[in-house]
Amino acid sequence: MAQPVVPTATTVLDSILFRDAFGTPRMREVFSDYALISRYVEVEIALARAEASYGVIPTEAAEEIAAKCNVAALDFDHLRHETDIVGYPILPLVHQLVKQCGEAGRYVHWGATTQDIMDTADVLRVRAGLQVIEQEIADLRRILADLSKKYRNTLMAGRTHLQQALPITFGYKTAIWLAMFDRHAERLEQLKPRVLVGEFAGAAGTLASLATGAMETQAGLMEELGLGQPDIAWHTIRDNIAEVGCFLGLVGGTLGKLSMDVKLMMQTEVGEVYEPFAHGRGSSSTMPQKRNPISSCYIHAQVSVVRQHAAALMDAMIADHERSTGPWEIEWIALPEAFCLMAGALKQSRFVLEGLEVDAKAMRRNIDLTHGLVMSEAVMMGLGRYIGREYAHDLVYDICRVAVKEDRELLDLLAEHPEINKHLDRAALAKLCDPANYLGQSGVMVDRVLATLR
């Protein structure tokens, strides 16, 4: 009788329990071992083709290399064993590719160094990973645009220092989130020309290994792969990879802010929005009434770790001389995990926003909790026209304290005050105390963000 397979994964990204909560199958595939080794082989084949184009190696050899290099036929266990010994995977991989290619194998990896292949393969992975991120950002922008339109005029309390401050609209809040993603989409386009650049420079970056056709071969290789050609070797100038990490960190910061707002608005005492409902989701093992903000919790954890990986990728910039001793390996750890965690956070955020439950009645109820105190600035500004802004501030401040102490409506106390009612009657004060009359330019700002998206 066959024994059951025991789960052995040690990280959440591969765990059968957590891998689809913290990551996504699509991004895991981009950064899988098989995909990585396939990228190595892709670069080696493209290099042979480029070199043949400029007479560096025979055309027949390049054709044989392209035809016979077979990732599926590799002995992966032997590749792992040799990598453990050598410390890098390319030499062990080349050993097997040479055997696959027969006589043409002598031209495999011609003039290249290990880091050329690995860096270029990583750029190909980064490109594929950024395509996933780009699509997720586009989806979030679409969803947030719809929310901003729908709730453009839905009143709610704006909060500063976790206290009610002034009236805003829920559409204004979602448009703020949208504006951040608009900038991320712009950043992504701007970083592509800097980041999607391959590497082929030889042992010390000078391409001394090719006596003729060196720069032409480099250009041809990058054309084969659809990457930019570097002006100079970047074996130990890693600002491009660090920029990717920082970009992911910035996107994560936005997702973290969004999830924080959702968590706070989901509090029992607030109850203004809720993550999408699914039977049993967010429930407690002991408290049947619970509806916890599950996705927002995952997002918080994911983006926090992504920021640490961004910092690690900046540490990897501090490299020694022309080939580094250790900082480069930081990228092997941090870059795949950052992408996988970011994909998971974006997926969780899309789930939250696509099915977000918005309680407009609760939003209005919460504005009214303070019996009008949220409108104190509006009253101060209206009254200031008659008695001066500073005096109006102090007067309204004292009245607010009375309203809190006596649990009375601000409007009633204002209308009773002799220094106020001689300038403003109750009807005028009622207009000042109406939250719908004190939204400022929020609607205009929402429309401007939506216009930029279009």
Distance CA 388, CA 390 (A): 6
Coil, helix or strand for 100? helix
Distance CA 316, CA 167 (A): 46
User: H/E element holding 165?
Assistant: strand 163-169
Distance CA 7, CA 9 (A): 6
Distance CA 136, CA 182 (A): 12
Task: Please report where in the chains the tokens 């929005």 appear, as a residue.
Answer: 273
Point out the catalytic residue in the list 109, 284, 393, 423: 284
CB 356 within 8 A of CB 273: yes
Distance CA 239, CA 128 (A): 19
Q: Is 321 a catalytic residue?
A: no
CB 319 within 8 A of CB 328: yes
Residue 242 corresponds to which amino acid?
A: A
- Sorted by sequence, the CB contacts under 8 Å of residue 429 that are 6+ apart come out as 379, 411, 414, 415, 420, 421
Distance CA 258, CA 144 (A): 11
User: H/E element holding 156?
Assistant: strand 155-160
Q: Residue 332 is encoded by which pair of tokens?
A: 């092997």
- Sorted by sequence, the CB contacts under 8 Å of residue 38 that are 6+ apart come out as 71
CB 271 within 8 A of CB 262: no
Point out the catalytic residue in the list 161, 279, 285, 321: 161
**CA 93-57-36 angle, 5° bins:** 25
Show the 3-state SS of 229-253. CCCCCCCCCCHHHHHHHHHHHHHHH
Distance CA 57, CA 97 (A): 16
Q: Is 284 a catalytic residue?
A: yes
Catalytic (active-site) positions: 161, 284
